[in-house]
Amino acid sequence: MHPESPVQPPAEPRTLGVEHFGDAAAPLVLLAGGTTMLSWPDALCESLARGGRHVVRYDLRDSGASTTVDPEAPAYTLRDLAADAAALARGLDDRPAHLAGIGVGGMVAQVAALDHPNAFSALTLAGTRPVAPGPVDDDLPDHDQAAVKRRFELPKPDWSDRAAVAEFAAAAAAVFGDDPGAARATAERIFDRTPGTARSVQMANQLGLAFARIDCAPRWRERLPGLALPTLVVHGRRDPFFPVGNGETLAREIPDARLLVLEQAATTIPAASADEVAAAMLALC
């Protein structure tokens, strides 16, 4: 693993917090979910690097070590985030990168692959769905309403209190069927690497599904049959937030996509599944 370093996408005065694993080999870019780059577990990054990839995970705008402007009123769209992924990939290597997106970051990854196909060689979509946050298409399974209700009924912590934020993350993970201990440790790491001046707002947004504030129009689902990249869809069988039918639909609508269902997983990729997921990703290209 290499230390975190800033990357400057062209044309706009912002930086992305980036972390590298592995040597200068074929690039693999990990597009974060709602909890910064750490939504991609260390064990998976390390397994991919051992498989001969230059793995790069990064923070989206307004999170972690990336430029923060106004997380409560983002002045960018989902397509701007997709353009960030393409600019980062092109800046890493002359070769196209394998792009992977998790959770809501998987939505960004779909748009990035559709809008910037020449920047990418393969696509992995983990725990996501083919439509934007908000109302779901009638043929897609919606959130488990009981689990979502319990999650949003949890008392909000003092977002400036590290221990309180970690306990909140652990409780939220338990509601969704994820490992509370792993969620607690990840929240502590996110807290520690978030600048103090932005910490309270960033933590509230990152653990409160801030993507609802980002403009995700227009729809992209109808374009998915035109994707020509080798694609892997990874989904937890026990995911109550984006139930597994969403992943099954993605795998049907993207030509020749492979579906990998993690039988014991919910919304995150467990460390115990890291090698299995890495092997499936490495087999794409």
Domains of the chain: 2-137+210-282 (3.40.50.1820)
β-bridge pairing 258-262 and 231-236: parallel
Peptide bond before 218: cis, by omega within 30 degrees of 0? yes
Measured CA distances, 126 to 3, 265, 267 (Å): 25, 11, 9
Q: What DSSP character marks residue 71? A: T
Residues 15, 87: Cα–Cα separation, whole Å: 12
Asked whether 260 and 284 are in contact (CB, 8 A), the reply is no
- Taking the model in full, what pTM does it have? 0.93
Sign of CA dihedral 28, 40, 209, 260: positive
Three-state DSSP class for residue 241: coil
Three-state DSSP class for residue 270: coil
In DSSP terms, which residues pair with 99 in a beta bridge?
29, 123
pLDDT of the chain, 285 residues: tens digit per residue: 555 544 444 445 579 999 999 987 899 999 998 768 999 999 999 999 999 999 999 999 988 888 888 877 888 999 999 999 999 999 999 999 999 999 999 999 999 999 999 999 999 999 999 999 889 999 999 999 999 999 999 999 998 999 999 999 999 999 999 999 999 999 999 999 888 877 877 777 766 556 677 899 999 999 999 999 999 999 999 999 999 999 999 999 999 999 999 999 999 999 999 999 999 999 997
